[in-house]
A and B are shown apart, each in its own frame.
Chain A
Amino acid sequence: MLKEEHIALRQFLLRLLLLLLIVAAVDQGLGAYLRRLYFSQRSGDYFRTTYGMDSTRAPLLVLGSSRASHHFVPAVLDSVLQMPAYNSGRDGCEILNNLAVFRAATQRYQPRLIILELSPKELYNSQESYDKLSNLLPYYRSHPEVRDLVKLRGPYESWKLVSATYPFNSQLIRLFNGRWNLSGDIGIRQGGYLPLQGSGVSGTADNQLPDPPGAPDANKLNALKEMTAYCRQRQIPFLVVYSPIFSNIRNQEGSRVVRSICAADGALFWDYSNDVRFDGHPEFFRDNSHMNDAGARYFSAIIADSIRSAAVAGSQLTAAH
C-alpha cells in the first residue's frame, strides 16, 4: 500500500469507528426504551406471553398456537373443573415457542395440569416455525432458559442479539398498541382466551390434510419429549390435544409419533380433529383451522368433562371433585 492509501485507510477506519459508536449508542438507548415498553405491556400478544412466562400461577396452563388461544375458554374449564386456567396460546407460536413458556412457567411454580394443543401438521419441518422463534427474542437477555431455542433460528442469532433494538424488530406499532391497549384487547380478562366470531366456512370439510412430506422435525419432537419427561418427573398431568379442525385429517404418522411420545412418559393424547360432534358443523368454525366462540365454548365443556371423567389430572385434580 502507498502512503496515501495508508492515510485514506486510517481516515476510513476512524470514520467507520465513529459511525459504529454512534449506531451502538443509539441502538442501546432505543433498545433499552423498547425493552421497557415491551415489559410494561398491558394488553396484546406480548403481554399474554410475558404473563404466561413471568406471572401466571394458574393451576391449569394451556399452551399452543392460535388454535389454543381461540379454542380453550378458561371460564368454561374453571366452571367444570373448579380450577382457574390460563391460556397462553398465541397466533403462529408453535411447539418450540410453547416450550419457552413451559420452561419459564414451570421454573416458577408447579401447575396442576398442563394442556398442550397441537396442530396436526405442527411437528413437521417448516421454516416458519423457526422464523416465529423471533417472538422469543425480547426474552433472550432476561430468560436464560429460552436461549438455546432462540439459537435454533440460525448460527448468527447470538451475534445479531448484540443489538439491543433487533429483538424488537417489526414490533413498534404493536408495542404502542399493547402498552396503551389502543385496540381494546380483552384477552387477559378472559384468561388469555381470544374468541372468534361468526362462521366463515360452509358445507362439509372437503379439504384434505395429509401427512406433510418427510419425517417430523427432530427439534420439535425433542421439545415434546422434554415437556412430557419433565411433567412425568414432577408428576404434573400433561395432556396433548388435537382440537377440532374443519378439514379431513389424514395425519396417521404424525398422530402415531405423538401418541408414542406421550405413552412413553405417561402423558395423554386426545385427538378431536375428526370428532363427530364437530364434523359437518360449520356453525362451530370461523375458518378451516379455527373454531368460533360457540365452537370453543362447546369444545371446552367437552374436554373439561372428559378431564373430570378420566381424572387425568391425577390425585390433586380428582380431589377437587
Chain B
Amino acid sequence: MLFNSVHFVLFFIVVTAAYFMLPHRWRWLMLLIASCYFYMFFIPVYILILGFTIVVDYFAGILLEQHTGRKRKFWLIASLVANIGVLAVFKYYNFLNENLSALLNAFGYRNHIPNLGILLPIGLSFHTFQAMSYTIEVYRGYQKAERNFGIYSLYVMFYPQLVAGPIERPQNLLHQFYEEHRFELKRVVEGLKLILWGFFMKLVVADRLAMYVNAIYNNPGKHSGISLMTATVFFAFQIYGDFAGYSNIAIGSARVMGFKLMTNFNRPYFSKSIAEFWKRWHISLSTWFKDYLYISLGGNRVGIPRWYLNLFIVFTISGLWHGANWTYILWGALNGLYLVSALVTAPLTQRLHQMLGLHRMRRLNNLLQILITFILICITWVFFRANSTADAFLILGRMFTFSGPLFADWSTVMLYAFAAIAFLLAVEAKKEFYRGSFSFMDHPRAVVRYGTYTLLIMSILLFGVFDGGQFIYFQF
C-alpha cells in the first residue's frame, strides 16, 4: 500500500482508531494483522518470504541465547546466511547471472543459466536488515531473545516502517510493543504534523521535481548540459523529498499510536562535509552499516590503509544494498572515495583554509563548505538516478559543457519546482540556523498554527502531484 494513496488514508484512520479502542493485550495482534494486510496489498504471495525470514530469525534468536561458543556462532551464521540468501536470490541473482554472462561472452563462452522471472519483493532490503540487526544484537548479548512469536513478527512487519524504514534496532522498538500507549493529544498532534509535512515533501516537492528529472534522465542524449545539470539538482531535492517525506509519514504514523521510531534525516543538505552528510542522511542505514559492518571490519582501530579500505568497502556495499546495478555500486564507491580523499587531504585543506583566511570568516567558510558538499553529492546522484552506467558517464560528460538551451516548461513544471525547492530550503534553513525562533506549526497562538496547517493542506491540493508514482526507496 502506498502512503500517498486514498487507501492508506483510510487504512491509517481505521488502524489508529482500532488501536486505541482495543484493550492493550489485543493491540499487537491487530497491528500484526494490519501490517500483513498492508504488505499483502502489493503482491500477496511475497508475505511467504517475509514469513520465512521471520521464522528463521525467531528461532535463531532463541537458539543463540541458549548456546555459547561455536554453537552460538553457528546459529548467528545460519541466520545471516538465510537472510542474505533471500536477498541474494530475489535481489541479486539476475544481476550476478547477467554479469557472469557478460564475463563468459568476453572469453567466447555462453552462460546457460537462466535468469529468474521474479519481481523484487517490496522493501526486501529494509526488513531483511531489520531482522538481521535483531539476531546480531542477540548474539552480541545486547538484546534478549524475543519469546513471543507474534511480537517478534510485528517487530519485523510493523507497517509504518515495513517497506522503507527507518531500519529499527530491537532495543528501540521491541519493548514498545509491550508498553501501553494512551491517547495523548500532544503526541497525536505531533505525529499528524509529521505526516502532513511528509505528504507535502512527497507530493509538492518530490513528485513535481520528478516530472522534470524523468523527462531529462530518460533521454539524456537529447538534452543540453544546463538541462542535465538542472535535472541533477532537482533530483537531489526529489530524492530527499521522496525519502524524507516517506520517513516523516512513517515516523508520524507510528507516533500517533505512541511509538517512537528513530530519526532518519536531519537536514542533510546543510552538511559541511561528506562525513557529516552521512550522519544526516538515511541515518538508520548509515548507523546499521557502522554498527554491524564497519565496526566488524575493525573500523578505525586498525592501520591507516586498512581504515581507508574499510570505509571504501562499507560504502561500496551500501551502494549494492540500494540496488542490483553497477550504477548503485559506483554511487556507493564514489561516496567511499570522497570520504577517503577527505581524510587523506585533511592537513592540506586545513593549511589552505588558513592561507585564505577562511577560518576567520566563519559564515563564508560554512557556506562554501555546504555548497561544495552539495555539489559533490549531486555528482554522486547522477549515478544513483541514471538508467545505466553509460548514461551516467554521458550525463557527467555533457553536464559541464554548458551548451544548448534549457529544456523548460515554465507554466507546469519549472516555476512550481523552483518554488517548492525554495519553500523546502526556507523551512529547513529556519530549523537549522534559527532553531529557537518563531515556529509556525508549534506557535502558541492557534490562529498561526491553524493557518499553517491550512496553508500546507491547500498547497498539497493546489500544487501536489496526485498522479505521481510510488516512493523511490520502495524498490530497495
Q: Which residues of A contact B (CB under 8 A)?
A: 1-2, 4-5, 8-9, 11-12, 15, 18-19, 22-23, 26-27, 30, 127, 131, 134, 154, 156, 159-160, 163, 165-166, 168-170, 172-174, 177, 183
B408 within 8 A of A: no
Assembled-state Cα–Cα distance A30/B453 (Å): 16
- Which one of A22, A127, A154, A165 lies within 8 Å of B461 (CB-CB)? A165
Chain A binding surface SS class = helix
Given contacts A5-B183, A23-B457, contact A165 B462 (CB under 8 A): yes
Q: What's the minimum C-beta distance from A14 to chain B, rounded to whole angstroms? A: 11
Given contacts A12-B189, A156-B6, contact A168 B183 (CB under 8 A): no
B184: chain A residues at CB < 8 Å are: 8
Assembled-state Cα–Cα distance A27/B411 (Å): 22
Assembled-state Cα–Cα distance A4/B453 (Å): 26
In contact, A8 and B183 (Cβ under 8 angstroms): yes
B332 within 8 A of A: no
In contact, A22 and B450 (Cβ under 8 angstroms): yes
A30: chain B residues at CB < 8 Å are: 458, 462
In contact, B458 and A26 (Cβ under 8 angstroms): yes
Nearest A-chain residue to B23, judged by Cβ: A1
Given contacts A26-B458, A27-B458, contact A169 B183 (CB under 8 A): no
B182 within 8 A of A: yes
The 0/1 profile, CB within 8 Å of A marked 1, for residues 441-476 of chain B is 000000000100110011001111111000000000
- Which one of B6, B185, B461 lies within 8 Å of A11 (CB-CB)? B185
A5: chain B residues at CB < 8 Å are: 20, 182-183
The 0/1 profile, CB within 8 Å of A marked 1, for residues 2-26 of chain B is 0000100000000000001100000
B20: chain A residues at CB < 8 Å are: 1, 5, 9
B457: chain A residues at CB < 8 Å are: 23
A15: chain B residues at CB < 8 Å are: 189
Q: Report, nearest first, the 3 A-B pairs whose CB atoms are least far apart.
A: A156-B6, A131-B467, A8-B185
Given contacts A163-B461, A166-B461, A173-B411, contact A26 B450 (CB under 8 A): no
Q: What's the minimum C-beta distance from A290 to chain B, rounded to whole angstroms? A: 15
Assembled-state Cα–Cα distance A15/B450 (Å): 9
Given contacts A5-B182, A160-B6, contact A172 B462 (CB under 8 A): yes
Q: What's the minimum C-beta distance from B423 to chain A, rounded to whole angstroms? A: 15
Assembled-state Cα–Cα distance A44/B458 (Å): 25
Q: What's the minimum C-beta distance from B132 to chain A, rounded to whole angstroms? A: 36
Given A1-B183, A23-B453, 18 other A-B contacts at CB below 8 A?
A1-B21, A5-B20, A8-B184, A8-B185, A9-B183, A12-B189, A19-B450, A23-B457, A23-B458, A27-B461, A30-B462, A134-B466, A165-B462, A166-B461, A169-B463, A169-B464, A174-B411, A183-B411
In contact, B182 and A170 (Cβ under 8 angstroms): no
Q: What's the minimum C-beta distance from B302 to chain A, rounded to whole angstroms? A: 52
Q: List 11 A-B contacts (CB under 8 A).
A: A4-B182, A8-B188, A12-B189, A19-B450, A22-B454, A30-B462, A156-B6, A160-B466, A172-B463, A173-B410, A183-B411
B410: chain A residues at CB < 8 Å are: 173
In contact, A170 and B416 (Cβ under 8 angstroms): yes
In contact, B461 and A169 (Cβ under 8 angstroms): yes
A165: chain B residues at CB < 8 Å are: 458, 461-462
In contact, B458 and A169 (Cβ under 8 angstroms): no
